[in-house]
Chains A and B, each alone.
Chain A
Amino acid sequence: MSSTSVPPLHLAVALDGTGWHPASWREPVARPRDLLTAGYWADLVAEAERGLLDFVTFEDGLGLQSSHYGELDGRTDQVRGRLDAVLIAARIAPLTSHIGLVPTVVSTHTEPFHISKAIATLDYVSTGRAGLRVQLSARPHEADHFGRRTFPPISLESLRTEAGQERLAEHFDEAADYVEVVRRLWDSWEDDAEIRDIATGRFVDRDKLHYVDFEGRHFSVKGPSITPRPPQGQPIVSSLAHQTIPYRLVARATDVGYVTPHDTDDARAIVAEIRAEQQTAGRADELLHVFGDLVVFLDDDEATAVARRERLDALAGEPYTSDARIFTGTPAQLADLLQELQEAGLTGFRLRPAVAGHDLPAITQKLVPELQRRGAFRQAYEADTLRGLLGLARPANRYAAAAATA
């Protein structure tokens, strides 16, 4: 039995189409023709909620899915086409009651003002279960969908060059500005700004509404938001990071970072780097979750899981590779791995089901009970908000705090 001093780990699941393996849509359980329906997503999120998971994330993008990082691939043998992630999350919110809903938003071509009120509204419609996962796009073909900026061709190799790193830094600086604006707008209304004072005829106390007055390189935003401060005050901000520049965004601006360690030492090193950046950012005393991302093929015995992965690889015509570690095995083996990685400093995991219709129920019905048996995961939802589930307090409003000390 694990020591009782180890805090329970947190579990999220990343939803993307029929699953993360490109041939997942060909599985009998996959429902590829339902991907554009609300019912498909409602069923997946209901399953995740039955498993008491902290939250689900919804992948998204401003272009068709592709097997290449920087361009379209013209393939017709994989799932292509998707719905807006914020709208999916909103559509599901009234059908669920505890699980967090974290859609992906692209910072590069969208407006922080729109996203701030969209996620605030998701927080209202879910009564405190909203978050966002911020993602940037350096892809030239996605820039062409907007026609306001042009980006040079990009590949994972080009990003490793000095010029690539500079470019990446610029995109991440923009993402950091974006998150800063979104967060300021959430705080631009104090919690008690609505007064309905019949004596003076005033609906709000305008002194409790604040201009955010952000001036940055790519945009400036005046504020205040049109949407009052959401139930959580600040919904959860998260992002995926694979190297130093993105780790810095995680450390500076997010509540949850997703990282992709390939072994325990790697996990320890990544966590150390993020914690150091967190210190540099002056947030050392704030709770910042670092979740490990893992693709999972889960079956009752390892051979079945391996065979399933090989069968899907054969259908895809090539072995599946991922930025994240790919786990193939049993729920008990995965529980061992998660606990080992947790000891390296990870506070939770975002599991990417290889086949949503198979591996998500395996997570909720097999892995979760296994972790519960070990005392490593919750037995029931202990909070009504996503912040509550993650152990994050509702933050004070930065403007109210400033006004109080002024």
Chain B
Amino acid sequence: MSKPLKQIHLAAHFPGVNNTTVWSDPAAGSHIEFSSFAHFARTAERAKFDFLFLAEGLRLREQGGKIYDLDVVGRPDTFTILAALAAVTEHLGLTGTINSTFNEPYEVARQFASLDHLSDGRAAWNVVTSWDAFTGENFRRGGFLPQDERYSRAKEFLATTQELFDSWHGDEIVADQATGTFLSDAKAGAFVHQGQHFDIQGQFNVPRSPQGRPVIFQAGDSDEGREFAAAGADAIFSRYSTLTEGQAFYTDVKSRLAKYGRRSDQLLILPAATFVLGDTDAEAEDLAKEVRRQQVSGATAIKHLEFVWNRDLSSYDPDGPLPDIDPDVSDNHISKGRAQVRMYRDPLATAREWRERAEANGWSIRDLVIETGNRQAFIGSPSTVAKTINDFVQADASDGFILVPHITPTGLDPFADKVVPLLQEQGVFRTEYEGPTLRDHLGLAHPDDVREERAAS
């Protein structure tokens, strides 16, 4: 007997500060004006996407002690832009990346609870952590958090915000104008949290929000990251480039849920993916090559190589061969504020492998960087892309995708117009939103239902 078809979850990542964005394209618009965000969000909602996703970076990236100037630089504040987007959309989930290292639980909890109220239940939090003293230089508490405390603080941070979200049960506001009773309970919002990282108490001042708690997303490929997600997240972002790698990740993460008393459908796996569409597969391939050339200029290729080599390579010719010197493996990295640096855990091995591949294929530095840009990409005609996405999901390589267009803000439009209808025809993607909240779109239970379920079992 065949399995019933899984329903695909789709989200859209606003293209901004990353080397995916092709800002030099004549069609590229503002990455900071609200009209861009509004256009992007409306397209995602028109396409019935689950949510819009915003990344974050709290210090401008640097390379070799200078502000990195080759990609888009600058982005808005996450909470503020999401609250504004709540005014121009009705259903779309609003997911913001917020760093737990450079914030305090009381403040973040009240911001997310407020966003959930102001969007009628569409808020989600992508919890990220940092131990990075570089970013810490912008904040009161500095960057002194030791790396080994990264997940421990993040776990306690998340647990503390959940305690704050749960400190109101939802029925305290009576607002009986006749009797003059506003609150049924003078201790509404009361909390005490004592732990290794936080020792706080008092009363939380945002009453329970429509979703009870915002939806919790988490990124992280490491063992600790996977465990953290399995213990408490509603969705995890992953990064991989092949079906088999995706399936391995999917199986691994889903298998970790049982020990936390959770079912495998209580954590969604959503990799980020780019796409390039053409009228035919061949046309899309050609276009994709052109996009990669735009994304990876000669200067960008050299800078990218510097992530791995950890040396100033500005004297090298991007159209020439790879450097024959070895990477500098000291901790003092040339590149600051970039997540990509951590992708290359063994720079010596990476450099060796890249040199071998470049030599075998006759690739220049720029060719190599273009060829090894190992993000998940869907390239082809709309029907090819629709089929590939569906195949990934039905084969349990993911539960859906977070799509990252390469043009701001209209890059999602062709996907919405051409690919979504095909997925809808196949019966694997919604034609209407089933409910008002993000939990409804993602098929996640309301936290109160979960609590009742656990109490009953």
Contacts and interface: CB of A to CB of B under 8 A. Distances in A.
Contacts of A189: 74
Interface string B191-226: 000000011111101110000000000000000000
Contacts of B356: none
Given A75-B186, A111-B140, A91 B83 contact: yes
B316 interface: no
Closest 7 CB pairs of A and B: A90-B83, A121-B80, A125-B84, A84-B114, A222-B137, A121-B77, A121-B76
Given A36-B207, A81-B207, A86 B79 contact: yes
Contacts of A121: 76-77, 80-81, 84
Given A125-B80, A220-B137, A84 B88 contact: no
Interface in A90-123: 90-95, 109-111, 113-114, 117-118, 120-122
A36 B117 contact: yes
Interface string A216-236: 001111111011100000000
B103 A114 contact: yes
A209 B60 contact: yes
A99 to B, nearest CB: 15
Interface stretch (B31-39, B258-266, B372-380): B31-39
B32 A88 contact: no
Given A124-B33, A206-B69, A226 B74 contact: yes
B87 A95 contact: yes
25 contacts: A38-B86, A61-B205, A81-B173, A81-B189, A82-B206, A90-B84, A94-B34, A94-B38, A94-B87, A94-B88, A95-B87, A114-B103, A121-B81, A122-B80, A125-B81, A145-B202, A147-B198, A147-B200, A201-B298, A202-B70, A204-B74, A221-B138, A226-B58, A228-B32, A315-B180
B437 to A, nearest CB: 15
A83 interface: yes
Contacts of A25: 175, 177, 182
B171 interface: no
Nearest to B205: A64
A228 B74 contact: yes
Which secondary structure dominates where chain B touches chain A? loop
B66 interface: yes
Max count, chain B CB within 10 A of own CB: residue among A82, A109, A222? A222
B70 A203 contact: yes
B138 A222 contact: yes
A221 B137 CA distance: 6
Interface residues of B, number: 76
Max count, chain B CB within 10 A of own CB: residue among A37, A110, A146, A205? A146
Nearest to B88: A94
Contacts of A380: none
Max count, chain B CB within 10 A of own CB: residue among A30, A87, A88? A87
Nearest to A77: B180
A224 B60 contact: yes
A38 B87 contact: yes
Given A87-B79, A218-B140, A141 B202 contact: yes
A62 B75 contact: no
B281 interface: no
B104 interface: yes
Contacts of A154: none
A194 interface: yes
A313 B160 CA distance: 40
Contact of A32 (B34, B114, B175): B175
A219 B137 CA distance: 10
A63 B69 CA distance: 42
Given A113-B58, A145-B106, 14 more contacts: A36-B117, A63-B205, A80-B182, A86-B79, A87-B83, A110-B107, A118-B77, A125-B81, A141-B202, A146-B200, A201-B24, A206-B69, A209-B73, A226-B57
Interface residues of A, number: 80
A62 B107 contact: yes
Interface of B: 23-24, 32-34, 38, 57-60, 66-67, 69-77, 79-81, 83-84, 86-88, 102-104, 106-107, 110-111, 113-115, 117-120, 137-142, 168, 173, 175, 177, 180-189, 198-203, 205-207, 297-300
A74 interface: yes
A220 B33 CA distance: 29
A94 B142 CA distance: 35
A152 interface: no
Contacts of B202: 63, 141-142, 144-145
A227 B75 contact: yes
B23 A26 contact: no
B182 A32 contact: yes
A127 B87 contact: no
Contacts of B181: 76-77
B182 A227 contact: no
Interface in A178-198: 189, 194, 196, 198
A204 B88 contact: no
A36 B117 CA distance: 6
Contact of A86 (B80, B104, B182): B80
A198 to B, nearest CB: 5
Contact of A206 (B66, B111, B119): B66
B114 A145 contact: no
Contacts of B205: 61-65, 80-82
Interface in A15-63: 23, 25-28, 30, 32-33, 36-38, 61-63
A61 B76 CA distance: 24
Nearest to A218: B140
A37 B116 CA distance: 10
Contact of B69 (A109, A203, A224): A203
A91 B118 contact: yes
Max count, chain A CB within 10 A of own CB: residue among B34, B138, B142, B300? B138
A364 interface: no
A145 B190 CA distance: 11
A124 B34 CA distance: 6
Contacts of B186: 74-76
Nearest to B141: A148
B139 A92 contact: no
B5 to A, nearest CB: 37
B75 to A, nearest CB: 6
B449 to A, nearest CB: 21
Given A38-B118, A111-B139, A33 B71 contact: no
Contacts of B187: 74
B266 to A, nearest CB: 28
Given A95-B87, A203-B23, A77 B59 contact: no
A93 B189 CA distance: 29
Given A36-B117, A80-B188, A315-B180, A219 B139 contact: yes
A383 interface: no
Contacts of B71: 203
